[in-house]
């Protein structure tokens, strides 16, 4: 009986593993193919069937990118936007979420919370023109400021942290902290922050990736090629009627490296955040 059970369990495990392997192949294949194309020539990419193994044109493709812009400059630009924005957004969201979660009886609590919620219902492109004029008035066009400062106030971030803190931190903890003489900010930094680390990591990853991929806002704000972030720089490799596909693929890979490193750094916390959210 016991052996049969173990056998069935093992069979189930094998099946699950197999399904997961297939699923990861499904997601990794495009990435692999990107890497293959990045090492090929333009005419090889157009062949049918397309090449499945690496070629020898990677140096030339790199030079083709370097001919248009320094290949790593957009990566630095993207980092200069994404890192301060991520840190700031997470901090602001956590503080606001903490305020909403802890001081539920404060005057205006409900109104402010509803307002934060309401911002989620407006597509960001709706305010694009007024935003542009505002930034123009501030003299911030063609700088990174418009991509960082106004975006720190994120309705999604606040609601996420409010929900996360509300379900993770029992009220008794605040009371205990108060008994020990900790005021609001001290409680936040010394008690709340360490506990909500997984939630912070999840929000960081989400912010980082969406900032990294953002195209429209930087396109509107940045008027100078030397400040282009990764997605914008990629478009410089394409002409109206044709793209240097291998160069685009290689530049895409270069632009992915920092995201991979940062994700690996945060992923342990991120996974904990996904699974441990509501239990405590």
Partner 1 sequence: MTSWMKASAAAFAIGFGAMLSPPAEAQNAPDTQISGTISVWTWPNNDRTFAALLPTFNKAYPNIKVEVQGFPAAKMAYLNNLQRGMLGGSGPDVAMMEINMMALLRDRPQWEDLRQAPYNAGEFISNFAPFTVANVTLPDGKIVALPKHTGPGGLFYRRDIFKEAGLPTDPEEVTKLLSDWNAFIDVGKKVAKPNERWMLANGEEIVRAMMAQKGVSNFDAEGNLQFDNPVFHDALEIVKKAADAGLISPFVAWSPEWQGAFGKGQIATVMYGNWFGGLLKRAYATADAGKWGVALAPASEGGSRSFNSGGDYIGILKTSKNKEAAWAFVKWLVTDGESLKQQYQSDDLYPAFTPAGSSDWINYRDPYYDGQNVNEIFAPVQAQLIPSTLNQLDSAATLALQTAIDNVVKGVATVDEALAQAKAEVKAKM
For partner 1, the binding residues (CB under 8 A) are 42-43, 45-48, 68, 129, 132-133, 136, 141-142, 219-220, 223-225, 235-242, 245
Least distance in angstroms from the C-beta of 108 to partner 1: 35
Q: Which lies closer to partner 1 via its Cβ, residue 80 or residue 219?
A: 219
Residues 6+ apart with CB under 8 A from 193: 94, 200
Please state the closest distance from residue 33 (CB atom) to partner 1, in A.
13
Q: How far is the CB of 58 from partner 1 (least distance, A)?
A: 19
> Nearest approach, Cβ of 21 to partner 1 (angstroms)?
30
Least separation, in Å, of the C-beta of 18 and partner 1? 34
- Pull the structure tokens for residue 203: 């929000």
Specify the residue, 39 or 204, whose C-beta has the smaller distance to partner 1: 39
Rounded Cα–Cα distance for residues 232 and 23 (Å): 30
- The strand pairing partners of 243, in sequence order, are 238
| Strands (E) located in 56-189 | none
Which C-beta is closer to partner 1: that of 193 or that of 220? 220
Q: Interior CA angle at 161 toward 212 and 95, to 5°?
A: 95
Task: CB nearer to partner 1: give 200 or 222.
Answer: 222
The token pair at 106 is: 């404060």
Distance between first and last Cα of the chain: 36
Q: Give the pair of three-digit tokens for residue 123.
A: 């597509």
Provide, rounded to whole angstroms, the least separation between the CB of residue 244 and partner 1: 8
Nearer to partner 1, 37 or 164 (CB): 37
Q: Could you give the CA distance from residue 148 to residue 248 in angstroms, rounded to a whole number? A: 27
**Which of 17, 67 has the CB closer to partner 1?**
67
**13: cis peptide before it, omega within 30°?**
no
Nearest by Cα to 245 from 28, 72, 29, 55 = 55
Smaller CB separation from partner 1, 46 or 260: 46
Give the C-alpha separation, 45 to 151, whole Å.
39
For residue 147, which of 67, 222, 234 has the smallest C-alpha distance?
222
At its nearest, how many Å lie between partner 1 and the CB of residue 142?
8
């Amino acid at each position: 009986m016991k052996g049969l059970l173990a056998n069935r369990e093992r069979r189930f495990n094998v099946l699950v593993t197999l399904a997961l392997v297939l699923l990861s192949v499904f997601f990794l294949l495009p990435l692999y193919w990107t890497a293959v194309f990045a090492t090929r020539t333009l005419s090889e990419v157009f062949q049918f069937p397309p090449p499945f193994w690496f070629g020898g044109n990677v140096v030339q493709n790199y030079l083709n990118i370097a001919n248009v812009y320094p290949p790593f400059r957009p990566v630095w630009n993207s980092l200069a936007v994404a890192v301060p924005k991520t840190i700031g957004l997470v901090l602001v969201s956590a503080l606001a979420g903490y305020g909403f979660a802890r001081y539920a009886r404060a005057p205006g609590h409900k109104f402010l919370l509803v307002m934060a919620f309401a911002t989620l219902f407006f597509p960001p492109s709706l305010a694009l023109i007024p935003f542009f004029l505002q930034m123009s008035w501030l003299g911030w066009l063609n700088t990174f400021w418009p991509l960082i400062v106004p975006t720190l106030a994120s309705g999604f971030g606040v609601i996420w942290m409010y929900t996360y803190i509300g379900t993770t931190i029992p009220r008794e903890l605040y009371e205990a902290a108060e008994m020990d003489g900790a005021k609001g900010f001290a409680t936040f930094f010394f008690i709340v922050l360490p506990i909500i680390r997984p939630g912070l990591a999840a929000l960081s990853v989400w912010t980082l990736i969406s900032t990294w991929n953002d195209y429209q806002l930087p396109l509107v704000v940045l008027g100078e090629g030397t400040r282009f972030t990764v997605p914008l720089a990629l478009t410089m490799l394409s002409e109206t009627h044709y793209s240097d596909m291998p160069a685009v693929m290689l530049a895409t890979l270069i632009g992915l490296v920092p995201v991979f490193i940062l994700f690996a750094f945060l992923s342990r916390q991120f996974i904990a955040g996904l699974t441990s959210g509501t239990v405590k």
